[in-house]
């Protein structure tokens, strides 16, 4: 099976959102921070009879809600910048994946290089709404947009058979 992967900005954007917010769950820290400071602000507001409690509650609320707003604003600004840096509009061929049922090796090539990975060493695969994300390592993934795959179910079943169901997650 040979899969030439033409990526578009929307594919890459969806992947970054999935990876940062879905897989790595990096939204947790700002939300925990916000909930702690908001809770402290509510407690301060409940103690409104104590001198300075309302001021302290206001400061805690502003900081508690402001930090996640700044975090997510900078996240999406950085996301937009990363997408533009990839120069994917118009869509372009970024790599080609090649694998077969009887091979224990996944071959990936682009204009400059060719690499082979053993399926048993692959980290994880995710079947999402728009794409299959094949993580070769914890930090390196290959995107397979479903719109490019004629038989996405067949591809997914082959990936599952090579990697095992414990290292494959299907959400779509």
Supply the mean pLDDT for the chain. Answer: 94
CA neighbor of 30 nearest in space, from 78, 64, 58: 64
CATH class (in words) of the domain with range 2-6+91-170? mainly beta
- Between CA 162 and CA 159 the distance in angstroms is 5
pLDDT of 41-65, one tens digit each? Answer: 999 999 999 999 999 999 999 999 9
- Between CA 167 and CA 124 the distance in angstroms is 5
Rounded to the nearest 10 degrees, the angle between the axes of helix 28-46 and helix 53-85 is 160
Please report, in angstroms and rounded to a whole number, the separation of the first and last CA atoms in the chain: 23
Name residue, tokens 């840096």.
Answer: 85
From residue 111, give the alpha-carbon distance in Å to each of 95, 115, 144.
Answer: 8, 12, 18
pLDDT of 24-36, one tens digit each? Answer: 999 999 999 999 9
pLDDT of residue 172: 63
pLDDT-derived band at 14 (thresholds 50, 70, 90) equals: very high
Residue 90, preceding peptide bond in cis (omega within 30° of 0): yes
pLDDT-derived band at 103 (thresholds 50, 70, 90) equals: confident
pLDDT of residue 101: 84
Residue 69 has pLDDT above 90, yes or no: yes
Residues 6 or more apart whose CB falls under 8 angstroms from that of 171 comprise 126, 127, 128, 129
- pTM score, whole prediction: 0.88
- Between CA 79 and CA 81 the distance in angstroms is 5
pLDDT of 123-151, one tens digit each? Answer: 999 999 999 999 999 999 999 999 999 89
- The percentage of residues in the chain with a pLDDT greater than 90, rounded to a whole number, is 92
| CB count in 10 Å sphere of residue 20 | 15
């Amino acid at each position: 099976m040979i899969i030439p992967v033409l990526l578009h900005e929307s594919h890459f954007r969806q992947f970054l959102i999935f990876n940062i917010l879905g897989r790595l769950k990096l939204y947790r820290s700002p939300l925990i921070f916000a909930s702690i400071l908001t809770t402290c602000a509510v407690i301060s507001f409940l103690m409104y009879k104590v001198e300075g409690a309302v001021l302290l509650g206001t400061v805690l609320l502003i900081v508690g809600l402001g930090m996640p707003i700044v975090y997510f604003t900078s996240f999406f600004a950085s996301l937009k910048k990363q997408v533009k840096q990839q120069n994917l509009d118009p869509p372009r061929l970024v790599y080609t994946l090649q694998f077969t049922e009887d091979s224990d090796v996944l071959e990936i090539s682009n204009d400059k290089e060719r690499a082979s990975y053993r399926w048993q060493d692959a980290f994880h695969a995710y079947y999402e709404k728009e794409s299959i994300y094949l993580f070769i390592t914890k930090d390196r993934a290959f995107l397979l947009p479903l719109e490019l795959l004629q038989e996405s179910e067949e591809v997914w079943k082959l990936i599952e058979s090579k990697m095992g169901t414990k290292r494959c997650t299907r959400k779509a």
